[in-house]
Structure 1
């Protein structure tokens, strides 16, 4: 058939049943992304004869004789459509995976559509931004620029450099124009001439049982399907065990997983892998793999799982495998006490107690997990993956397949979101097996249903909290009993358990404190790393109990926190934590002031109104060391090449790294090239998690740039025989009292051991052996309809202690995005499990990712602090905004209804039951 795409004729023959999305991508139009393939997310949106459609649910044959416009064709040549210009300049994206589809739909809107914008755009989901900058960009593209409403910077945080691209300025990402047009490549966006562009397709056979032993597999029929290259089972897999969770020290996670196992422990676990020439052949073959199962008893309740006689999931594992008590299904445990808690509680005039339950939440990043692998010209295994941790993945693949590390390369293009979910190795291991066995390129991409059934979810936790206090609100004791559902495999369960109980219980002064906590194996889908890393669940309990205490005392909740807040000089709770700066007091004042000023929506008549707040503290990176190596190179033409290992997935790290270099070298982005996310780039980088992009990678690059700046001046001084302290960077080189020494002269005069093929090179390293502390306070005013249980957020405000804000617009976006995810998990999102352990809602249509209409604008206010540890005084701010949101909303609902919710999410049904006194 013939059709037109972005003004060019296309001749193609669609396969029976093929959708337009896959046909467009097969013909090289990679601006069209895959987020769900069910018509729910809008990442694949195109214009079909001028009408926006989701191309994943349009049969390809319907494009015959018609015109298709992708984000790449909304404007002629390299020009941007007005809405794309607004999105690019107004920070209307973070990861950018949804942005091409968003711009396509928005390009059709006019002024009369703006009052109905939420409905018109509800088919396009964004998981990163919280929608405010997208809404403003669309409005600006129709009406012209809108008034900037934030973020609020304090005077000391105003830019201190005159460089337009330097730190302290809201510099748009270098890739902004490419992102809005869909031209920035993500994992599977390969050029047609790439050796892996026509890779073999890998599909998996999954278990229908929650717990079973495989007693036989017959692959003969599958292998006979035309186009099938291989079928792999547990008989073909390495015997070694590992964890899909990745950390700097692999011993942080349990070795309980095999690449393909003869025992399955949750519905959806992979059983066999089919590798074929086409998707159709792979799908046909996997339906023909015959598996003979011996069902085993299953357990889905973590409380039941640790009782005597419960089915054991990993009975052979030992503490040497980092499994605490396999005979009780306990992966990890914490049992500590400081002071005499029983005595302190008995002596406390006021005591409160409650038990809160959190739910499973899926990351819902729009780019699913996936990898492409091949052998390069030297026979090295190369994996291109949507991973936050390329170096840690490389190391584990080398270990698993008994390869030297230098024989494995892992690299990441831009990631379409992650939120911790891509700190796991879910696809790379199977791809590596297939590439090493076949010698051919192989691709494996999760479907959206795979994300629900096989990727990790947020740990569901039951958190019981008891607080004791004096009559004037001084805390006397804290008792926490926590039960975490690890699911079928341990993944991050050890780290999440320990982290969940760290800053959440150290933010206030407790003379006596007891913690009893366990993470338990069940036959549910595995839990893993997710933004906040367990803190959000425990903070829900602690901050809700604090609100209970404030109610009991008749005290303002802000004042109760002020009286008990940890302050500089207090023990921060861990040997490597230091008070690099302190902004908790400012955050309380800023959030309270904004809430008192109001400035929110008005409640409908008959609805009940309540205010709520909650606080959170977080360390600025992971414990036990987070390592980053970087290099900075001066080329003879005066441009700078920067190498960093960290990945970019919407966290804005690559922009801030460029800003750091721009500030040191007084250079614009046009003179800076950054290569990142590649194990060939630098010697090591722990990865883009624990909010370490600025505090570790940024600090390392700052060191490399300072070293290069110093060396350039030294060489120029030696050339001109002048004082190196008198030299400074100029337009064409280093200006000395004698003359300006050109960039080319400096490179030529360098010692040979200082030179790389690109030019004069220095390196910088950061080992992250000290961590500072950051604070967030969220406050809301909500309206509750007692007749329906509907909760509407009238006002949302978050005050953040981010140190010196290196890129205000990006940092504001991180806070807004974290708040939006917090609102989603507070009110809407829940991965539901059926009685047999299968996922009951494994698609977006049944799982409520917040849409435009669901997320109010959050007012963002920054405290005025400067951190002694972070580069330029900055602190991390990627994870922490999520943590206080749900308890703030829960506290507001309780104040509105006079009845407290204890089970998250606070859905309409649950709130309606509370309003009706039905529990």
Structure 2
């Protein structure tokens, strides 16, 4: 078959039934990505004779004689196309996995199409940005932080923060410099995990359990092993017998050891029971179907309420609770928390107003567009090498060494750019099987999740039931708060204890209440496992507490904003859950009061969006507050090197992965600022156990406040060393020297760094342990219209105010907030992994799981408190998880204000609101 890709002629024959996406990638054009393989996400979009198509559902043979254009072919060699340049200028991407396909589709729009942009772009999904920057890049507009369009050259009002993209030799912290990978991302040239051609690569496919709970009594792999092209069939008989947790934390003792690489007992439908390694995915799938397994089906439990009752099936009853760190394996109790501060019974008895309610949250899928994937091989030094889509390469290395009894010097783990994570890649889900396959076959092996795997095999957000009871005096001052929590961790306990503890932490300590009690349980069921997800449990409990506070405000007759002012913790108050928090947690720069004021003022001003006409539409307003620590507890470590190279550039070695969090940009800015140079002189080698000393990982919002702080310290140390070196060379004082874009200058001398450091360069190192943590605040407010006939919720105004400290990169910071809000709106209104009640996940394709499209989201007004954090670099706070947490309760409160009835479960979908209205 003859065809062309970006003007280059190819003669190649596709396989029977092959899609154009995989066919293009066979030609080593890796700019075409896989997000779904069902035509739902658009990450694979290409032009075929100028028409945009989803190449994953476009048969390859239909491209015969046609011109195929990918994102890499839109511009000219060395030059970006106009639309690509606008995506760079507007910072219109975060992880960037969707961007190549997004740009391809946008390249076909003309000015007449822009009015229909939401419809035309509905086939291209972005999980990270919230679409505002994408819309502006395509529509040629520039807005202030409120979404108000500015005339060319106009400035935004001083009360608003307007991100302005700046470039140039001295742009560093405090300015919106573009991401170092921008041009590669918009042209599809930035490599992700699987964007590499490895000769002789084998492929791994897993066989999944059809049962929710069963014991394998016999397994016959002979027919599968005999299939031509099969290199190995792996079962529990080949698995290491070391128990571990797929969850990764600085201390591996945070999570229960309840998992084997391959187990003879399966505990949820879809759990892997065998793995086939073969020459192709097709051969491996065919071989998997030939594996014969006999099961002894065991009793199962799916309701967390029933899980701990006498007589309930014991899911991990074979485990030793002490060594596995499970509170009570026989009763399916993974972890529990019971504590009281003051006297809650007395506080409720003396209250003039009491409110109690029970709220339910759902399973939510991370839906990062790059699915989990790992490629492994043995390198020339006989090391096991894993190239993986992970937020925690160093923690993966440590656990792989433990599982396979290897010295860390014999295992290298690294990432390319990671296509989204949101906590979902703080796990070992593919690396362990790939390691087993590589060590068994001696060949390079690739394992890539399908989108169905992401729904049925990958952990979800923990569904929680939260009961909140509040007491207050006649004026609304809280006298008591009681929280009862039941968390369903599913079949395995990864992240279960940590999510439970964290969910009841800052959500409770946000309010200064003299009497508090928390009773929380995390339990096993035979459902798909739950795991880490943006906010790490806080969003679930904040939904309940902030909804209860709104009910209390109604009961007392006080404005919800005023109720928060009255009861929120202040700098003079201790942080209390069921005890006074340790001295590792401080308020830092306090901005909650500003956030409340800014949100209330914005809501009072309103905007130009009016509710639809008609008596069926009712309008309401609502708000909610949230608080979050700026990093995980008990330490989060990063050891960074910064080297002055012989060519006059600088190399930063840092372990943090880039998955849309923007840390690469911030680390570049921090180093450039400390070394008085341009960002273009900074090279970042990251997320590689060979390139950095150590890094706990990119989770818990620690990329800026831990790794970034270490980068800044190492760069400042290098600057001092360079001045000292110059002083010794010229017999002058170190403080007589300044760094000036790769040159050391004094009153009498001028030395280039290249001639100063010599061929070996000069390296400085710094450590950051994250021993002390501060607090960030976020407030969200909505104005909504609700259709009382259909249950439709229309967002008329969305406002988020953030206590983010010093803004290292305003555009990027705003983008993190918009993306967090977008994901939270999805959780609040649309997203739910549907389970049939007996452990079968029914949501298996992206089109049946409604992540927000561009047409679903409002422009969120973003305002920043004026604060400075004493712990963060240049006074910055973290802001990756925080924006998510107050959104769902603020929306629930607005809906309640509109219709007079309160939603008690998520998502607040149209059908649920309609049923609520029918009562």
* CA drift at 1:671: 1.1
- 1:601 aligned onto 2:602: no
The change in CA–CA distance for 1:141 and 1:435 in structure 2 (over 3 A counts) is farther
- Map residues 204-603 of structure 1 onto 2, 5 A cutoff: 204-317=206-319, 318-573=321-576, 574-575=581-582, 576-603=584-611
Q: Is 1:116 aligned to residue 116 of structure 2?
A: yes
- Structure 1's 499 and 40: CA in aligned 2 closer, same or farther, altered over 3 A? same
In structure 1, the partner of 2:899 is 897
| Residue 149 of structure 1: how far off its partner (Å) | 9.3
- What is the alpha-carbon distance in structure 2 between the residues aligned to residue 142 and residue 538 of structure 1? 37
Instruction: Give how far 1:154 is off.
Output: 7.1
| Cα contact 2:44–2:101 (8 A) shared by 1 | yes
Separation in structure 2 between the aligned mates of residue 624 and residue 793 of structure 1, nearest angstrom? 40
CA distance in 2, matches of 1:906, 1:149: 38
Secondary structure class of the residue paired with 1:476: strand
Cα distance in 2 for residues equivalent to 1:224 and 1:160: 61
Q: Any idea what the Cα deviations from partners look like across 1:149-197, whole Å, max 9, x if unmatched?
A: 989877999999996431000111011111011000000001x4xxx35
Partners of 1:270 and 1:811 lie apart in 2 by 39
Aligned residues: 905
- CA change 1:71–1:186 in 2 (3 A) is same
Matches within 5 A, 1:721-870: 721-731=731-741, 733-748=743-758, 758-870=760-872
- The residue aligned with 2:626 is 616
Counterpart for residue 29 of structure 1:
29
Match in the other structure for 1:178: 184
What is the Cα deviation at residue 635 of structure 1? 1.4
Partner of 1:754: none
Structure 1 residue 742: Cα displacement: 2.9
Specify whether residues 155 and 905 from structure 1 end up closer, same or farther in structure 2 by C-alpha distance, changes over 3 A only: closer
Does residue 684 (structure 1) correspond to residue 694 (structure 2)? The answer is yes
Residues 625 and 294 (structure 1), Cα distance of their counterparts in 2 relative to 1, 3 Å cut: same
Provide the C-alpha distance between the structure 2 equivalents of 1:416 and 1:564, rounded to a whole number of angstroms.
40
**Deviation at residue 316 of structure 1 after TM alignment:** 2.5
Q: 1:664 aligns with which of 635, 657, 674?
A: 674
The whole-number CA distance in structure 2 between the counterparts of 1:758 and 1:848 is 54
Residue 706 of structure 1 deviates from its aligned partner by 0.6
Contact 2:166 2:178 (C-alpha < 8 Å) held by counterparts: no
RMSD: 1.9
Contact residue 332 and residue 518 of structure 1 kept, 8 A: yes
- 1:681 deviates by 1.2
Partner SS state of residue 794, structure 1: strand
Shift in Å, 1:225? 1.1
- Indicate if the aligned counterparts of 1:633 and 1:758 stay in contact, CA closer than 8 A: no
Contact 2:161–2:863, Cα closer than 8 Å, also in 1: no
8 Å Cα contact 1:340-1:512 kept in structure 2: yes
User: C-alpha separation between the residues in 2 aligned to 1:50 and 1:412?
Assistant: 34
> Quick check: 1:717–1:736 contact (8 Å CA) kept in 2?
no
Contact 2:167 2:177 in 1 (8 A): no
Looking at structure 1, the residues matched to 437 and 26 of structure 2 have their Cα atoms a distance apart, in angstroms, of 23
- SS at 1:57's partner residue? coil
By how many angstroms is 1:142 displaced? 13
CA contact 1:580–1:869 (8 Å) conserved in 2: yes
Q: How do 1:620-635 residues align onto structure 2 when only pairs under 5 Å count?
A: 620-635=630-645
Q: 1:36 to 1:145 in 2, by over 3 A?
A: farther
Shift of 1:12: 1.1
Provide the rounded CA distance (Å) in 2 between the counterparts of 1:160 and 1:93.
Answer: 16
CA contact (8 A) 2:463 2:487 kept: yes
SS of residue paired to 1:217: strand
Change beyond 3 A, Cα 1:311–1:113: same
| Contact 2:643 2:652 survives alignment (8 Å) | yes
Cα distance between partner residues in 2 of 1:330 and 1:81: 57
Q: Distance in 2 between matches of 1:272 and 1:628?
A: 37
Q: Residues of 2 paired with 1:312 and 1:885: CA distance?
A: 37
Deviations 1:665-698 (A, max 9, x none): 1211221111000011122100000000000000
Most deviating of 305-314 and 142-151: 142-151
Indicate if the aligned counterparts of 1:156 and 1:864 stay in contact, CA closer than 8 A: no
- Find the aligned partners of 2:318 and 2:571 in 1 and give their Cα distance: 46
- 1:52 aligns to what? 52
Does the 8 Å contact 1:127/1:366 carry over to 2?
yes
- Indicate conservation of the 8 Å contact 1:159/1:167, yes or no: no
CA distance in 1, matches of 2:164, 2:397: 41
**SS of the counterpart of 2:819?**
helix
Shift in Å at residue 541 of structure 1? 0.5
Q: Which deviates further from its counterpart, 764-773 or 574-583?
A: 574-583
For the 8 Å contact 1:486–1:522, the answer to whether it is kept is: yes
CA distance in structure 1 between the aligned counterparts of 2:742 and 2:643, rounded to whole angstroms: 16
Q: Which residue of 2 aligns with 1:167?
A: 173
Correspondence for 2:146: none
Cα offset for 1:745? 4.0
SS at match of 1:473: coil
- Please name the residue that 1:68 is paired with: 68
Q: 1:845: Cα distance to partner?
A: 1.0
Quick one: distance in 2 between partners of 1:4 and 1:154?
Answer: 49
2:323 aligned counterpart, secondary structure? helix
Distance 1:566 1:859, change over 3 A: same
Partner secondary structure for residue 318 of structure 2: coil
**Change over 3 Å in CA distance of 1:885–1:149 after alignment to 2:** farther
In 2: Cα distance, 1:315 partner to 1:716 partner: 67
For residue 704 of structure 1, what is the aligned residue in structure 2?
A: 714
Deviations 1:43-90 (A, max 9, x none): 001111111110000111111111111111112223212111111110
Give the equivalent residue in structure 1 for 2:83. 83
Q: Which runs of 4+ in 1 moved over 3 A?
A: 141-164
Residue by residue over 1:863-886, the C-alpha shift from the partner in whole angstroms, topping out at 9 and shown as x without a partner, is 000100000000000001000000
Q: Distance in 1 between matches of 2:178 and 2:664?
A: 11
Which structure 1 segments of 5+ residues have no match?
749-756
Q: Distance in 1 between matches of 2:272 and 2:646?
A: 52
Tell me how far apart the structure 2 counterparts of residues 424 and 44 of structure 1 sit (CA, whole Å). Answer: 26
**How far does the alpha carbon of each residue in 1:631-658 deviate from its partner, in whole angstroms, 9 at most, with x for none?**
1111123211111000000000000000
SS for the counterpart of 1:56 is coil
Distance in 2 separating the partners of 1:665 and 1:446: 42
Aligned 8 A contact 1:410 1:678 in 2: yes
Structure 2: 5+ residue stretches without partners? 144-148
Report the Cα distance in structure 2 between the residues aligned to 1:180 and 1:822, rounded to whole angstroms.
26
Relative to 1, partners in 2 of residues 1:662 and 1:543: Cα closer, same or farther, differing over 3 Å?
same
C-alpha distance in structure 2 between counterparts of 1:453 and 1:689, whole Å? 23
Report the secondary structure of 2:709's partner residue.
helix
Q: Is the 8 A contact 2:246 2:429 kept in 1?
A: yes
